[in-house]
Amino acid sequence: MRGAHTYAGPADTRPAGWHPAAEPPRASFERAAVGVAAVRRREPWLATVQQVLDAIPGAAAFLAPVRDRSGRLVDLVVAAATPEAVGPSGRQGAQLVGARAARSSPQTLTSDRWPVYQHVLDSGEAATVGPFDHTGGRYSVRVHRLGDGLLMTWLRHDAPERSVTAELRLAQMERELAEHRRDLAAEHEMAARLQHIILPIPEGPIELPGLRVAVRYLPAGQQSRVGGDWYHAAALPDGSVLLAVGDVAGHGTPAATFMAQLRHALRALAVTTTDPAHLLGHLNRLTCDLERENPEISATAVIARYEPQRRVLTWAQAGHPPPVFSHANRAAALERPPGPVLGVVEDARYVNATLELDYGDMLLFYTDGLIEDRQRSLDEGLQDVIATVDEAVAASSTHPLIELFDRFRRPNPEDDTCILAIRPLTGLTRDLRRFAMPHIAPRPAP
């Protein structure tokens, strides 16, 4: 979850009895601010980079890469800059943050420097490019990989002679940022270990009462972005199944820790109630309490309870992307019941919706990393997922879960992704017979 945002769709104007297979798949939703910033929060370690850059002379900047789906570098975005750094438009220092190379200096993308930047990002090998002519001056640029981005320092050859002090401060800056990068790697390793302990992922589909369940976790393509995505899938004492997928805002150890708190809280609360809307209400109050201590806390989630005897799924959501439902070989995004992001409105009300599952149906829960991409809108991302579900079902109607997960293998470069897919089991499983017919004792062997 790259930032605290929710998804808002159009008002439901469909007639009663509407079913997703009755009309072409469609979904329209957009980011909205619900008491929290709608823009992506700045990563804490970027503040450290900016503090270091603020203290040094000369022109230097840290740039975040933008890649296409194949991993090719398509843009660079300024994330931090020294006070003396000046862009082609005349903006200087902090004014450069957010500037994109594709807009401010499009000729750079077609220059011989661009493949060098890609190589430094991919290999980690530092490089010096130049001298070259640029915006009325002659420059060289020194490029280092820092975390998942590039640290660039520009040296102007036709300017007055650079002072020794400036050169020494640039060298000191590189040492300080290298040390911070090692600290960042240590935090990432700790967060990743914590995440794997808290969130074990089954290697293949599992069977729960009346359901076949498959889970896939795709870590972010950028190694420093360990996220707070989580899932839950477990049988309840009454023979029903509790399912959940959630996404905590932010990355690193804080996100992984809060993810653990939510997941364990859900398991504990399920002893008192299995109503999805009530469970979200409890999790929201918990998040609001924790938010008083840490204003950065927020999360989205979807919770569902499946009753295998009736093949009915009851579900509720808190600012989460809509599940994708495949029925009669056609997929569509479900209309979401009302429910704000966790941790935003203390007395928020969550509403249940119900869905009947037929044999052959498939339902997909996921976090926003599956549909969110800088190169496409959220609507386009959702439509891509719907199309992938249709393709998987068409390719293998008997084993669509395996086929579907074979197609969901590429990670989002900037965000973790958690996917949970369910499909009703045909016939009565052993677990289902135990709950559905407890009065029938097995016959003794002859």
Q: Which residues of 259-296 are buried (b: 16+ CB within 10 A; e: fewer)?
A: bbbbbeebeebbeeebbbbbbbbbbbebbbebbeeeee
Confidence at residue 199, expressed as pLDDT on a 0 to 100 scale: 57
Identity of the highest mean pLDDT range in 167-181, 193-207, 306-320: 306-320
Distance CA 259, CA 86 (A): 41
Which tens digit of pLDDT belongs to each residue from 408-438? Answer: 766 565 667 889 999 998 754 334 334 443 3
Q: Are residues 26 and 96 in the same domain?
A: no
Same domain flag for 209 and 165: no
Cis previous bond, 442, omega within 30? no
Asked if residue 299 and residue 417 are part of one domain, the reply reads yes
Question: What is the mean predicted confidence (pLDDT) over 172-181?
Answer: 59
Both 280 and 322 in one domain: the answer is yes
Tell whether 175 and 260 lie within a shared domain.
no
170 and 240 fall within a common domain: no
User: Do 304 and 377 lie in a common domain?
Assistant: yes
Highest mean pLDDT, choosing among 177-186, 418-427, 435-444: 418-427
Whether residue 336 lies inside any domain: the answer is yes
Q: Which helix (H) or strand (E) holds 422?
A: strand 417-424
Among 37, 29, 48, which residue's Cα sits nearest to residue 5?
A: 37
The answer on 275 and 179 residing in a single domain is no
- pLDDT for residue 141: 83
State the CATH number of the domain containing residue 244.
3.60.40.10
Residue that finishes a domain, picked among 165, 189, 213: 189
Crossing angle of helices 253-269 and 276-293, in 10° steps, is 140
| Between residues 268 and 376, the one the model is more confident about | 268
Cα distances from 424 to residues 238, 272, 309, 326, in angstroms, run 18, 26, 11, 12
Which residue, of 189, 216, 249, is where some domain finishes?
189
Residues 185 and 321 in one domain: no
User: What pLDDT was estimated at residue 323?
Assistant: 96
Query: Average pLDDT of 298-321?
Result: 96
366, 321 in Cβ contact below 8 A?
yes
Residues, the chain: 446
The confidence band for 150, taking pLDDT boundaries of 50, 70 and 90, is: confident
Q: How far apart are CA 251 and CA 225, in angstroms?
A: 5
Residue 238 DSSP one-character state? T
End-to-end CA distance of the chain: 59
Given 161, 189, 217, which residue is the final one in a domain?
Answer: 189
Please tell me the distance from the alpha carbon of residue 295 to that of residue 276, in angstroms, as a whole number: 26
Instruction: Taking the CA atoms of 356, 362, 365 and 368 in sequence, report the sign of the dihedral they define.
Output: negative
Query: What is the pTM for the complete model shown?
Result: 0.59
Count of structural domains within the chain: 2
| Co-location of 355 and 388 in the same domain | yes
The predicted structure's pLDDT at residue 420: 94
Give per-residue pLDDT as tens, 320-356: 999 999 999 899 999 999 999 999 898 999 999 999 9
Q: Domain range spanning residue 108? A: 44-189
Confirm whether 196 is domain-assigned: no
On whether the CB atoms of residues 34 and 344 are closer than 8 A, the answer is yes
Beta strands in 258-396 (DSSP E): 299-307, 312-318, 324-327, 330-333, 353-356, 362-366
